[in-house]
Amino acid sequence: MADGFVGVDVGGTKVAVAVLSGGELTSQDVRPTAAGDADALLDEIRAVVESVRDPSIRAVGVGVPSVIDFDAGRIRASVNVPLADLPLRDLLAERLGLPVHIDNDANLAALAEACADGEVEVENLVMLTVGTGVGGGIVAGGRPYRGTSGAAAELGHMIVAADLDGGAPAAGGFPQAASLESHASGRALDGLAAEAAERHPDSTLGRMRADGHDVDGHDAVTAAAEGDAVAIDLLRVLGERLGIGIANVINAFDPDVVAVGGGVSTAGELLLGPARRVAAAYVLPGVGMRTEIRRSRHGPTAGVLGAALLAKLESNGREERG
């Protein structure tokens, strides 16, 4: 039996788990996030790991939407899950009796996007995960880039819409009101969809609202895919906002690939078409000449695959280091 590695992707609304064995993901499962408190979420992570555990499992990788001290295995801060200021690696290792490795979820999605069959094939890649929030991950020179303190790369918190006419506006809580996450996340799309349902009662979203349905971003993506003009325009707006962030990323890193993942990326070209158009307009001439802007190849499995790859690479690396 091949060695197995469990990957867990913790999101603001769901927890996904899978096993990487022999180069393939198996035993995949998704459950709603237990977001009440840290203990409840830790218990849920333990439960999903136990649900796929077998004697082949060597280690567990966990991706979380948080600022991570990678070397210490500690969460410094979280926005969408109740895991702030926790030694998550050690707490989970104690509960599971297995080696545990943790990282930012978008870092792990970026690792998955840069790899094929467990080997890096894209040297320089930036990942933007557009889900409940907007996460960011970077692979530079074939290796995950985590910065000086292990906390990079929080690209969703780039400031993209601040009014600077009178100097800097007063800072608020996170996500900041002018950040990419505030303007281009799934939650932002939720707000756009609810407003559009009220303004356009004859649209698909408007009719859903009239029937007593709480309209959200998922409904907007579905309606757009079915050809609803109002919903298509909402994805244009979100895509153009995302395009501003992508332009900043390309101007800063000139990567081979900018990959867009997360739940909202299921909108495909309805989101990416406007994003590419706006990014091209805002990228400095001569920069990003070979950058490909594409949807994540792994879709919703990027997070769990990256987490499982982390467990595999860290386990093998520790063995090689003796």
Average pLDDT value for residue range 138-147: 90
Q: What is the CATH number of domain 4-119+300-321?
A: 3.30.420.40
Higher pLDDT, 117 or 156: 156
For the ranges 32-41, 63-72, 128-137, 196-205, the one whose mean pLDDT is highest:
196-205
Residue-wise pLDDT tens digits, 65-74: 888 888 899 9
pLDDT category of residue 320 using cuts at 50, 70 and 90: very low
pLDDT category of residue 132 using cuts at 50, 70 and 90: confident
Cis, peptide link before residue 175, omega less than 30° from 0: yes
Measured from the Cβ of residue 244, the count of other Cβ atoms closer than 10 Å reads 20
Q: What pLDDT score was predicted for residue 187?
A: 95
Question: 3-class SS at 173?
Answer: coil
> Which CATH class, in words, describes the domain spanning 125-296?
alpha beta
Residues 6+ away with beta carbon under 8 Å from 18 = 6, 7, 25, 26, 27, 28, 29, 52, 301, 304, 305, 308
Average pLDDT value for residue range 266-275: 96
The answer to whether 122 and 155 are in contact (CB under 8 A) is no
**DSSP assignment of 208-228, as one string?**
HHHTT----HHHHHHHHHTT-
From-to residues of CATH 3.30.420.40 in the chain: 4-119+300-321, 125-296
Higher pLDDT, 232 or 298: 232
Q: What percent of the chain has pLDDT over 90?
A: 66
Question: 3-class SS at 130?
Answer: strand
**DSSP assignment of 34-68, as one string?**
--S-HHHHHHHHHHHHHHH--TTEEEEEEEESEEE
The yes-or-no verdict on residue 248 having pLDDT over 60 is yes
Which region among 63-77, 212-226, 235-249, 269-283 has the lowest average model confidence (pLDDT)?
A: 63-77
Higher pLDDT, 139 or 23: 139
The answer to whether 245 and 155 are in contact (CB under 8 A) is yes
